Homo-oligomer: A and B are copies of this chain.
Amino acid sequence: MADYVYGPGRTHLFVPGPVNIPDPVIRAMNRQNEDYRSPAVPALTKVLLEDVKKIFKTTTGTPFMIPTTGTGAWESALTNTLSPGDRVVSFLIGQFSLLWIDQQRRLGFDVDAVESEWGQGADLAALERRLREDAPRHAIKAVAIVHNETATGVTNDLAAVRALLDKHAHPALLLVDGVSSICALDFRMDEWGVDVALTGSQKALSMPTGMGIVCASPRALEASKTARSVRVFFDWKDYLRFYDMGTYWPYTPSIQLLYGLRTALDLIFEEGLDNVVRRHNRLGTATRLAVEAWGLSNCCQKEEWFSDTVTAAVVPPNIDSAEVVRHAWKRYNLSLGLGLNKVAGKVFRIGHLGNLNELQLLGCLSGVEMVLKDVGYPVKLGSGVAAAAAYLSNSTPLIPSRI
């Protein structure tokens, strides 16, 4: 058997994760195991720990590359900085923030979930009220926020959150899920005073799943010394001990993911992180123009929250968005994202993050058009592609290495 559910040609992977892996990364990971206690792996790790800080835009943070997923990275962020019963203000704006909040509650924190309508960003006015009311007691120990809500295609304004905390001189830790933002959206850990930021390897880093990267500010590290949440696997302390010894790993890392990360970072640095962010903005804008041309609305309700990594398009009530996704896969070898929970059946999602370029996206958009037609939506074939291409044609730079 060749493969499960084989179809001719390339699979067009446009879910918002896991995303397309660049060939050089696949190549780098095509390798044997190695003894992680030999000098080679610590040498590699040391440099990675330095380089990975760059994608967080931090010089003061301490990164942990944990063999886990985003869910595990969440848990690491929370249990290392907080104690059971600690009050956390958390924003509920979609399925992934909901899941994080669920985790926060199950881990025993006192979560104040600030809900927005799905399609809107974090309710910062509500945050400000809470910060104001919390003075001078400062019972709120942390503000937890998803930078980019993958379920609705909504990007929160982290600088504004930091500004509010500063304005109220509030010492709460700022914990940020950057799973679908870091390495794709503008993210500035140090400048925005983020205390813990985290991402997963299978998102904008464009690697396989399996590495949760958590970066802790000096304040977060300090907090970890007194945080009483029970933790072992996710405990930063063990990592820090092995960092000190120069062997780096409290338990066995994936050799393949380390070499994969090396190459993934090399590619990002070769393109330039800011250019990567620009490329995501370009692809996000093009997608939104296509959605608009199709006459569909964006689940994200305001431009200020538009996400450059994922777009959730709302289908008319007579159409089941799950059928859009199923059909895309069955007929065009195109993987789109389902609507989740409250927006199940109502939106389908186009992930446009990671190692992706203009023509890949245009192929996807063209496929979406055909799918929409197939499921009975009166789309004008070519309309979205034309709108997207008109924009891309004016904004795509020459590939620097080829000039």
Point out residues on A near B: beta carbons under 8 Å. 1-13, 15, 17-24, 26-40, 43-44, 67-72, 74-75, 84, 102-103, 106-108, 200, 202, 208-210, 229-235, 250-257, 263, 266-267, 270-271, 276, 279, 329-335, 337-338, 355-364, 366-367, 369-370, 373-374, 380-383, 385-387, 389-390, 392-393, 396-399, 401-403
Contact = CB atoms under 8 A, between A and B. Distances in A.
Q: Most chain-B CB neighbours within 10 Å: which of A8, A75, A270?
A: A8
Please give me the 8 A-B residue pairs with the lowest Cβ-Cβ distance, nearest first: A382-B386, A363-B363, A9-B357, A18-B33, A362-B366, A35-B335, A7-B399, A382-B382
A39 B256 CA distance: 27
B335 A71 contact: no
Contacts of A107: 230, 232
A39 B325 CA distance: 11
A229 B108 CA distance: 11
A230 B82 CA distance: 14
Given A3-B24, A27-B28, A358-B370, 16 more contacts: A2-B263, A4-B44, A6-B401, A13-B34, A21-B33, A26-B30, A34-B335, A68-B72, A69-B252, A70-B251, A210-B254, A332-B358, A333-B357, A333-B359, A362-B367, A386-B386
A355 B6 CA distance: 12
A10 B67 contact: no
Nearest to A14: B35
A366 B363 contact: yes
8 contacts: A10-B20, A39-B329, A69-B251, A210-B254, A359-B364, A362-B366, A363-B363, A385-B389
B230 A71 contact: no
A381 B403 contact: no
Contact of A331 (B71, B367, B396): B396
Contact of A369 (B24, B210, B355, B389): B389
A381 B393 contact: yes
A64 to B, nearest CB: 14
B33 A20 contact: yes
Contacts of A393: 370, 373-374, 381
A370 B392 CA distance: 8
A229 B370 CA distance: 50
A402 B362 contact: no
Contacts of A233: 68-69, 71-72, 74-75, 103, 234
A62 B401 CA distance: 30
A38 B330 CA distance: 10
B358 A367 contact: yes
A65 to B, nearest CB: 12
A177 to B, nearest CB: 13
A24 to B, nearest CB: 5
B10 A399 contact: no
